[in-house]
Amino acid sequence: MAVRAVRGAVQLERDEAGHMDEQVSELLTAILERNSLTTEDLISIWFTATPDLHSDFPAAAARKLGIVDVPLICAQELDIEGAMPRVVRVLAHIESDLPRSDIAHVYLGAAAALRKDIAQ
């Protein structure tokens, strides 16, 4: 079993805790489903949020999904002029037999523009 990394992102429509919870939950669920993963396959998850998001920690959504025994951390993205606003990014470390080329990175909605090089 290899250690792999899965990336993902979602752009929020507004900075509200309930909306963040909904969108981050959707992102994490999609990452798990598209890579045929369970929570047992997760090693750790890094979340970053753009500086304009203040309503909640993205990791709180993971805990509500039942990801309770996996190390999670939140950090703030660099405040770059012209960067897409209200974005939560995910970097999940996983155990998987998938080759690196078969890992499905998930960019939902408008966040797909962040990585046009990765097929959705």
Binding-site residue set: 7, 89, 107
Give, in degrees to the nearest 5, the angle at Cα 85 between 39 and 88.
Answer: 10
Give binding residues for prephenate as ranges. Answer: 7, 89, 107
Pairwise CA distance, residues 17 & 2, whole Å: 35
Longest dimension (CA), the chain: 41
Q: How far, in Å, CA of 93 to CA of 79, rounded?
A: 25
End-to-end CA distance of the chain: 25
H helix runs in 1-120, sequence order: 17-34, 58-64
